[in-house]
Amino acid sequence: MTNQMISSQKKSTQLAKSQATIEQFLSFYLEADQQALLPTQQLLEIVKVSLTQVTAIAGLAPSIMGIYNWRGDVIWVVDLASLLGYKPLYAQQYEQEKLQDKCHIVFLRSQENIIGFAVPRVGQIVKCDISTIQTSSLTFANPAMMQACRGYWLSGGAEETFLVLDGDAIAEITST
């Protein structure tokens, strides 16, 4: 009976360890062929908005789209693709001849700040074993990408490659 208890304790410890390495991430697109992931514990809400609802402010960095009134709070909205060195959201739509007036804003909390990231398309919630996230040995041309990227993750069967981003690092980049 003692052996059964020890065996049971080992199994529950192994189960707890395996569950601790599984995290949920939101998948979304930076470009048509590049997906990324953000940890869901940082997410607050995702809204689909008209671009005219984002108020542009002159003289800011090109990746800052402007401000948006979210639940009575004025929140900065950042074109995440542009910030990380990809084509800006408006250029992607122009190239695809899909000039749309809509985008998704992903709101997340970083320390005491709330920030919104504009992305062209949101995917789904993905469960990922964080021990399988591979750090990149590549040096990115864009310093913001180097700071924001935790690594990359290959989905089952290596069908798709996802950049794994750090919301706190992105918020820090936008505040400087």
pLDDT band at 161; cut points 50, 70, 90: confident
Is 7 a domain residue? no
**CA pair distance 98, 82, nearest whole angstrom:** 18
**CA pair distance 38, 30, nearest whole angstrom:** 12
Residue 172 has pLDDT above 90, yes or no: no
Alpha-carbon dihedral sign for residues 53, 78, 88, 39: negative
Q: Is 134 helix (H, G, I), strand (E, B) or coil?
A: strand
pTM of the predicted protein model:
0.77
Q: For the chain, how many structural domains are there in total? A: 1
Listed in sequence order, the residues at least 6 apart from 137 whose beta carbon sits closer than 8 Å to its beta carbon are none
CATH number for position 132: 2.40.50.180
Is 71 a domain residue? yes
**Which residue segment(s) compose the domain that 122 sits in?**
23-175
**CA pair distance 115, 132, nearest whole angstrom:** 28
**CA pair distance 138, 117, nearest whole angstrom:** 25
Q: What is the pLDDT of residues 18-36, one digit of tens each?
A: 456 889 999 999 988 889 9
Is 97 a domain residue? yes
**Buried (b) or exposed (e) across 129-164, using 16+ Cβ within 10 A?**
eeeebeeeeeeeeeebbeebbbbbbeeeeeeeebbb
Q: Quickly count: other Cβ atoms within 10 Å of residue 112's Cβ.
A: 5
Contact at 8 Å (CB) between 26 and 123?
yes
Q: What is the pLDDT of residues 59-101, one digit of tens each?
A: 998 899 999 999 999 999 999 999 988 888 887 765 555 556 7
